[in-house]
Structure 1
Amino acid sequence: MIRNYLKIAFRNLWKNKTYLFINLIGLSVAFGVSILLFLSAYLLLTYDNFHEQNGAVYRVYHKVNSPQGEEYGNSMPLPMRGAMKAEYPEVKLAVRVMSGAAQIQKNDKLINQGIIFTDPDYLQVFGYKLLKGNPQTALNDLSSVILREDIAKNIFGEQDPIGKTLNISHGDKEVPYVVSGIIEKGPENTSIQNEMLVRIETAGEFADNKDRWDADQHALYVKLDDQTNPATFEKRLKAFTAKYYKSNIEQLKKEGAKADAQGDVMSTRIIGLSESHFDSRIGNQAISKVYPYTLLIVGVIILLIAAINFINLSIAKSFTRAKEVGMRKALGAFKGQIVGQFWGEAFLICIAAFGLGLFLSYALLPHYNAIFRSSLSLNLLQTPSLLLSIFVCFALVTLVAGGYPAWAVTRFNTVEVLKGKVKVSGSSGGIRNTLIIFQFTMSVLLIACTLIVWTQINYLRSKPLGFNTTQVYSIPIGHEVSGKRLLKHFRNRLANQPRILSMTGSDVNLGRGLDGSFSKSVLGFEQNGKSLKTNMRTADYDYTKTLDLKLLQGREFSEAYATDTAYSVIINEAMAKQLGVKNPLGVILNTEEKHKVIGVVQDFHFESLHRQIEAVSFFMNGFSINYIFVKIAPDHVDETIALLKKTYAELAPKSEFQGSFLDENINKQYQREERLSKIFFSAATLAIILSCLGLFAIAIMVISQRTKEIGVRKVLGASVFSITALLSADFLKMVGVAILIASPIAWWIMDKWLTDFAYRTSIEWWVFVVTALLAVGIAIVTISFQAIKAALTNPTSSLRSE
């Protein structure tokens, strides 16, 4: 019997090849794309879960209720680890993590590499395995270094690196380290990097700050014993904050800060490591949970649209097999057997489409990774939880898409079917129309979201930032030559070049350069009884001139004033407002070394447009120079950059040149938004194609059922246009309903998304007009082809066929 059912199933599928191929194409593309989207979402939602397989890991942070509002700090002072372990026995392990940049000597080249300054507890807190070496003692010695497996292979090849000496440059010094361990690379979805691990005591700033509670430099992670409740432990930290931050709390109260619901003006808190990745107040590279959930929702929408096509086409085709169903019933077939026959055919299509979808996801994976800058691998499908989720999705699609049409055919009246009177019931037509409206609602929603994301990205790129981004070239210095020395040599070598307009240096890049580095330093101090905070940046001579910053008051740093290198500061308008004086020139800032304000520059966006412009102060004696900014003439740009490369190669021959224009750096700040835009655009395109495939097939089916009506209308003098309009009207009404439903939903969703930006575009009315025109235009093109074809048919042929 099963063999007979299979034979009938294959025969019927092959007989209706058009519908078979439409279903196969739609479902296989939906399965393939959805697998990639689900894998991406899984990778994001399980971020840092890798480290919590042996117990939860918590990140320590501060919450401050300042008079200006809530503020959060994720950097901690160096003595906090020791104090917390000493006063709280429930803290099993605690580890400080401070990131930096370093260079390793390999033959005649210097390799740029990330370095982590940390504590011996690192290997017990985080989930990485030590492939070589003793995990209990690998970081006990201050001269020890643990290398990641790929870095060790790059440096030592196939040799055993354990016990070998490695000269590593970080800060302004070169230090010999002995390789004591090789650590695994680990997964991509982690915020805890492990390129090179050394003891935090070897960091350049450690000796000066090891006992200071006012110098926040690193992240602090703790593991609690199994019996401790995190919420209870967090409450116990209230006494800890009161003890070590007494002066901070008193100062905040003087300024009018109010306690929060827990009665704290300032509190020390903890958050789960994986949870911190989704909290932008705490995580340095945090993303909103909206992003992975958007991927999931888009994947589900694409699957639903393909499944709806399958349901509609299956129901439509079931009426052409009504006599077969009636005959089976008359010969004694049970309802379950008929359902099994039709559902079995649906299952064959689904299983074939799923196999094609897997192949498609494999084929598209390299392009997907390139377009969305991800590192997906189909090896993730071996994860039991993910495998189960995908299997459940497949089972649901198969059950609903195949089961409902199979159930619908069993409701045919046997007598009417055999008399040839069966027709589409009102309920079936209603379900079909509802499903078509749902398809186009999703498509319109995705089109509208795509346009709004695109307008926001365009706004971010085009908004004036207050400094020159197109003519300024940024060059990371590296560690081969000190920053000030390299900048001096650059100035001497290029002083007479007419296309080099000016040059300066800074500790921090603007935007994200090719080196990927990003840092932020905040200086806190008291001024006239108020606590002030300012971003602290190093700036060399000609900083305002090179970046075309507008100097509102005073002057910039000048070699004519010897004291500028040690005691002068330039501030922006936001910092001047904090000082609360009409003329800030000459004001002495009560920092560790007193600094005199010599200039005020107009506010400019030195951070991304996600954030409001904050106070910033520029010092010449701040941190080391890490970047050279060169303002170049707009003509012969390629030749000028070649000259900069040549000069850099002569001065730092072992280092890699990683120069880029500031506008390129600025655009890299919005890679997440660009990825979201690409996802929406790709999903909207795919949703429209799948919806149109289904609409096209349904139009064929509906129009074929009205062949006689069309013939009669033509005989009575109806024009091709009127017949086409008549056949298209019902479908266009459904698209219109979809537009009315989708537009307010799209506005609400994107308005919530835009709240993530301090500077945002408004959602314009034309977005929804363009969306509606696109949806209607696409629907007309899809339907009219078949409608015009039917209207042009000779009426004698139509009537004869009936």
Structure 2
Amino acid sequence: MIRNYIKIAWRNLVKEKTMSGINLVGLSLAFACSILLFLTANFHFSFDDFHTHKNEIFKLYKKVNRPEKTEYGSSQAPPVAPALKAEYPEEIVAATRIMDGGMQVIYNNKNYDLDINYVDPDYYQIFTQEFLSGAPSSALNETNSLVLGKKDAIKIFGKTDVVGETVETRGKRSFIITAVVDDTPKNSSIKLGSKMRFDTYPGYQEAKESWDWSNHNVYIRLAEKIDPIKFELGLKAFTEKYYKGDIEFGKESGMIVDDRGEVISTRLLPILEEHFNTDLGTGSIKSYYPYLLLGIGLLILLIASINFINLSIVRSLVRAKEVGMRKSLGASKKQVVFQFWGEALLICVIALFVGLCASYLLIPEFNSIIDGEIEFSLLLMPKVILTIIATFLLVSIFAGGYPAMIVAKFNTVEVLKGKVKKGLSKGGLRNGLIVVQFSIAVMLITCTLLIWKQINHLRNMPLGFDQAQVISIPVPRSLDGYRVLNHFRNELRGQNQVLSITGADDNLGKGKDGSGYRSVFGFSMDGKEYLTNGMNVDFDYVETLGLELIEGRSFDRKFSTDSSQACIINERMAKQLGGKDLIGKNLALENGLNIIGIVKDFHFESLHQEVESQTLFFNPSFGINYIFVKVANQEPLATMNLLEKTLKSFSPDAEFIGSFLKENTDAQYKKEERISKIFISAALMAILLSCIGLFAIALMVIRQRTKEVGLRKVLGASTQTLVSLLSRDFIILVFVAMLIGFPMAYYAMTLWLAEFPFRIEIGWVAFGVAGTLALTIAFLTVGFHAYRAANMNPVESIKSE
């Protein structure tokens, strides 16, 4: 019986090549797009899921309730982790500090630059990582232990079996390789590469008891029996004990007491949520992003399913007599349902197979479009397999089963008399489904236009500094930033294309190194307490970056105190301090900083944040992490090559990853750009699938009205009148879809734009463009068939029925 169903299903598919082809193309495209979107969503959901103790691992962070806004920060002081273990020995199984750093090692008289994480011995009790050689239990037992990542081991030794080998630093200190670990998985929030003991970090001995120096993260692993929510509430006592001075300072500064009775609180972030936490600056995407991908994938499948349903119902009119004959010869409703559902299932199976093949081939292109890192191997994960199976069953049952049920209900006598066409000719369900399709398409087009407009607004908004002519160059962590800066100044002196050079401890925008640094410090003035963002800079910073000096002067080599006791503040900071007669005033710090200048506000952070108070100071002990070079507007490629050559002349193995500040600032909006690309792709797919469906529906409906068209033409109707008549009903459906799609788009974009302090007005233009586009595409799709039908020979039209 089943074999017979398959045979008949195949014959009908071959017989109706046009309709079968349209269904196959639509469903195959929908399956391919949905699979790619599902894989991407699952990739993000899988972040940090590979750790054995994933449910017990937490990152420490602080919540500070400032009057103007709530701030979150994960940077901790060196004594925090040891103090936590001492205070909670039963609750905390392991704790580790993690600080990014760099080191240059020497092996066989060759220098190698390494990116290093400085961690505590508990590290491998918390995080899971594959060891290629060595053992987790002994990897960091000694202060001279060095765990190498696979890439670093191969770079230095050419192999991974190197436990026991010794390397030296520039300071002639020896380190023994105790283990080699596999490289960091793509779905990890933290780097799992080369490691050294935290207590070997330069300057650690001087800072190990300091609660004022914060530059690393702390992770803890709780005992299985411990409730993390109750434990977090219990950290109030820890905060009050060790941050008593900060709490008092905060209350004096007007900080707000929250519902837990705290102005500063210590919180826990589960590692499974770190990838989605953008408040702490470590998460790369919002938590809604994977769900957005799943939603778009389902919408595309819904549009393709609607096509399938509509075409199946329209085709049922053609095959109505076949159903009547089957039932008159004894076929039951169940058998008719199985026959028609079997045909739908066969199409779905073929479409799924084609979709899988297409998604496999499209993965590289898809990754390049959305800046993704998915691999087809993700398809073998149980969650993904179950999702695809569930989606396939849903589509085949919904899209194939429903039309089959309608067909099975045909009355045998009425079908054989031809009355079924009259019952279905109004097409209420068909029209409703077309409205749903175009509502989705209109919504996606409108959202795409508004997202693109917002991204352009962010990219083109003046930031208060020169983006076009300034190149930022990250200094390799193993090198002394001031020595590199002086080398650049000496080597490039007299070069026509180089206008000025400076340095700072933080970048502007997001450079190619992907890292950033933020310093916040407090000070007193005129009996009041203040907080400000701080940036250590060098001479010529204001001039190189093109900052607008509105009062006072810049840092000047003529004044010896400028290199230790001077600072420049921004307008926002000046307003906080009263705004008048600030030049010469002193910020009461350990050494004191005299205000020598005020610059116009500039966006040292992305446009996701308002401009905050900023203080530029000059302190050689803070170090230089980035070099900024202002260049002439000529031969940028040659200039970039010159800068790379200059860095290589100082350190031949140093990696050059310079970039224009315009590139850096644009990179801050990759998340929005990724979303826009997804919406553009989804909108195009939605329009394409809707048009495929509309094309087929229009073809079938106009075929049924061929005799009417012929009679009207004989009676004098013009081609224009006939095209208008045949297209009118479909155009009305698109108008209805616009009335539904526009409010959905407005609501969605209002929520999304609320994330930006600097945002566009939604306006009516995007809706006008989206509506015009949808109407034009629909009219051209339907008009093609209408024009052909209107120009048929009336004799042939009338004879056709």
Match of 2:231 in 1: 233
Cα separation, 2, equivalents of 1:516 and 1:270: 25
Match of 2:615 in 1: 617
Q: Residue 106 and residue 475 in structure 1: after superposition, are their counterparts in 2 closer, same or farther (change >3 A)?
A: farther
Shift of the alpha carbon at 1:63? Answer: 1.7
Q: Which moved more, 1:783-792 or 1:514-523?
A: 514-523
Aligned residues of 1:113 and 1:195 also touching (Cα < 8 A): no
Q: Residue 668 and residue 787 in structure 1: after superposition, are their counterparts in 2 closer, same or farther (change >3 A)?
A: same
- Aligned pairs for 1:622-661 (under 5 A) are 623-661=622-660
Match of 1:777 in 2: 776
Match of 1:392 in 2: 390
Q: Residue 457 and residue 562 in structure 1: after superposition, are their counterparts in 2 closer, same or farther (change >3 A)?
A: same
Please say if 1:49 is aligned against 2:35: no
* CA-to-aligned-CA distance 1:494-541 (integer Å, 9 cap, x gap): 222233221111122211222222222222334444442222212111
Cα separation, 1, equivalents of 2:720 and 2:102: 71
Q: Residue 653 and residue 400 in structure 1: after superposition, are their counterparts in 2 closer, same or farther (change >3 A)?
A: same
Match of 2:272 in 1: 274
SS at match of 1:75: coil
Q: Residue 501 and residue 283 in structure 1: after superposition, are their counterparts in 2 closer, same or farther (change >3 A)?
A: closer
SS at match of 1:94: strand
Cα separation, 1, equivalents of 2:759 and 2:109: 49
Shift of the alpha carbon at 1:53? Answer: 4.5
Cα separation, 2, equivalents of 1:590 and 1:112: 39
Aligned residues of 2:440 and 2:741 also touching (Cα < 8 A): yes
Cα separation, 2, equivalents of 1:110 and 1:771: 59
Structure 2 stretches lacking a partner, 5+ long: none
- Aligned pairs for 1:516-595 (under 5 A) are 516-580=514-578, 582-595=580-593
Q: Residue 651 and residue 63 in structure 1: after superposition, are their counterparts in 2 closer, same or farther (change >3 A)?
A: closer
Match of 1:310 in 2: 308
Q: Residue 636 and residue 39 in structure 1: after superposition, are their counterparts in 2 closer, same or farther (change >3 A)?
A: closer
Match of 1:69 in 2: 69
Shift of the alpha carbon at 1:649? Answer: 3.0
- Aligned pairs for 1:181-192 (under 5 A) are 181-192=179-190
Cα separation, 1, equivalents of 2:532 and 2:466: 23
Cα separation, 1, equivalents of 2:233 and 2:635: 63
- Aligned pairs for 1:345-424 (under 5 A) are 345-423=343-421
Cα separation, 1, equivalents of 2:646 and 2:252: 55
* CA-to-aligned-CA distance 1:20-49 (integer Å, 9 cap, x gap): 111111111111111110111111123222
Please say if 1:686 is aligned against 2:691: no
Aligned residues of 1:109 and 1:654 also touching (Cα < 8 A): no
Match of 2:473 in 1: 475
Q: What amino acid is the match of 2:694?
A: L
- CA-based RMSD of the aligned residues comes to 1.9
Shift of the alpha carbon at 1:206? Answer: 1.9
Shift of the alpha carbon at 1:473? Answer: 1.7
Shift of the alpha carbon at 1:489? Answer: 2.6
Aligned residues of 2:97 and 2:216 also touching (Cα < 8 A): yes
Cα separation, 2, equivalents of 1:501 and 1:86: 55
Match of 2:40 in 1: 40
SS at match of 1:188: coil
Cα separation, 2, equivalents of 1:635 and 1:283: 36
* CA-to-aligned-CA distance 1:266-322 (integer Å, 9 cap, x gap): 221212112233232235234212221111111111111111111111111111111
Aligned residues of 1:96 and 1:218 also touching (Cα < 8 A): yes
Match of 2:26 in 1: 26
Q: Residue 744 and residue 469 in structure 1: after superposition, are their counterparts in 2 closer, same or farther (change >3 A)?
A: same
Aligned residues of 1:588 and 1:595 also touching (Cα < 8 A): yes
SS at match of 2:612: coil
Cα separation, 1, equivalents of 2:159 and 2:317: 69
Match of 2:198 in 1: 200
Shift of the alpha carbon at 1:581? Answer: 5.1
Q: Residue 66 and residue 516 in structure 1: after superposition, are their counterparts in 2 closer, same or farther (change >3 A)?
A: closer
Q: What amino acid is the match of 2:132?
A: L
Q: Residue 223 and residue 156 in structure 1: after superposition, are their counterparts in 2 closer, same or farther (change >3 A)?
A: same
Match of 2:156 in 1: 155
SS at match of 1:493: helix
Cα separation, 1, equivalents of 2:800 and 2:80: 88
Shift of the alpha carbon at 1:390? Answer: 1.4
Identity over aligned residues, as a percent? 49
Q: Residue 481 and residue 86 in structure 1: after superposition, are their counterparts in 2 closer, same or farther (change >3 A)?
A: closer
Matched residue count: 799
Cα separation, 1, equivalents of 2:795 and 2:85: 94
Q: What amino acid is the match of 1:476?
A: P
Match of 1:724 in 2: 723
SS at match of 2:363: helix
Q: What amino acid is the match of 1:708?
A: K
Q: Residue 42 and residue 529 in structure 1: after superposition, are their counterparts in 2 closer, same or farther (change >3 A)?
A: farther
* CA-to-aligned-CA distance 1:409-436 (integer Å, 9 cap, x gap): 0111100111223215359711111111
Cα separation, 2, equivalents of 1:654 and 1:265: 48
Q: Residue 8 and residue 639 in structure 1: after superposition, are their counterparts in 2 closer, same or farther (change >3 A)?
A: closer
Q: What amino acid is the match of 1:197?
A: K
Cα separation, 2, equivalents of 1:258 and 1:628: 39
SS at match of 1:161: coil
Q: Residue 402 and residue 103 in structure 1: after superposition, are their counterparts in 2 closer, same or farther (change >3 A)?
A: farther
Q: Residue 588 and residue 141 in structure 1: after superposition, are their counterparts in 2 closer, same or farther (change >3 A)?
A: same
Q: What amino acid is the match of 2:67?
A: P
Aligned residues of 1:50 and 1:127 also touching (Cα < 8 A): yes
429, 451, 455: which is aligned to 1:431?
Answer: 429
338, 341, 363: which is aligned to 2:339?
Answer: 341
Q: Which moved more, 1:515-524 or 1:365-374?
A: 515-524
Cα separation, 2, equivalents of 1:513 and 1:446: 32
Cα separation, 1, equivalents of 2:627 and 2:83: 40
Q: Residue 71 and residue 637 in structure 1: after superposition, are their counterparts in 2 closer, same or farther (change >3 A)?
A: closer
Shift of the alpha carbon at 1:174? Answer: 7.2
Match of 1:15 in 2: 15
Shift of the alpha carbon at 1:353? Answer: 0.5
Match of 2:86 in 1: 86
Q: What amino acid is the match of 2:7?
A: K
Match of 2:483 in 1: 485
SS at match of 1:345: helix
SS at match of 1:516: coil
Aligned residues of 1:319 and 1:424 also touching (Cα < 8 A): no
Q: Which moved more, 1:251-260 or 1:214-223?
A: 251-260
Q: What amino acid is the match of 2:138?
A: T
SS at match of 1:51: coil
Q: What amino acid is the match of 2:472?
A: S
* CA-to-aligned-CA distance 1:49-87 (integer Å, 9 cap, x gap): 223555421111112223333222211211111111111
SS at match of 1:600: strand
251, 258, 263: which is aligned to 1:253?
Answer: 251
Q: Residue 764 and residue 52 in structure 1: after superposition, are their counterparts in 2 closer, same or farther (change >3 A)?
A: farther
Shift of the alpha carbon at 1:575? Answer: 2.0
Q: What amino acid is the match of 1:677?
A: S
Match of 2:740 in 1: 741
Q: What amino acid is the match of 2:651?
A: A
Shift of the alpha carbon at 1:177? Answer: 2.3
Q: Which moved more, 1:175-184 or 1:778-787?
A: 175-184
Cα separation, 1, equivalents of 2:20 and 2:106: 62
Q: Which moved more, 1:108-117 or 1:384-393?
A: 108-117
Aligned residues of 1:115 and 1:194 also touching (Cα < 8 A): no
* CA-to-aligned-CA distance 1:617-661 (integer Å, 9 cap, x gap): 122215212222111121343443343333333333332322221
Cα separation, 1, equivalents of 2:732 and 2:598: 61
Please say if 1:127 is aligned against 2:125: no
Structure 1 stretches lacking a partner, 5+ long: none
Match of 2:788 in 1: 789
TM (norm. structure 1) is 0.96
Match of 1:663 in 2: 662
Shift of the alpha carbon at 1:102? Answer: 3.9
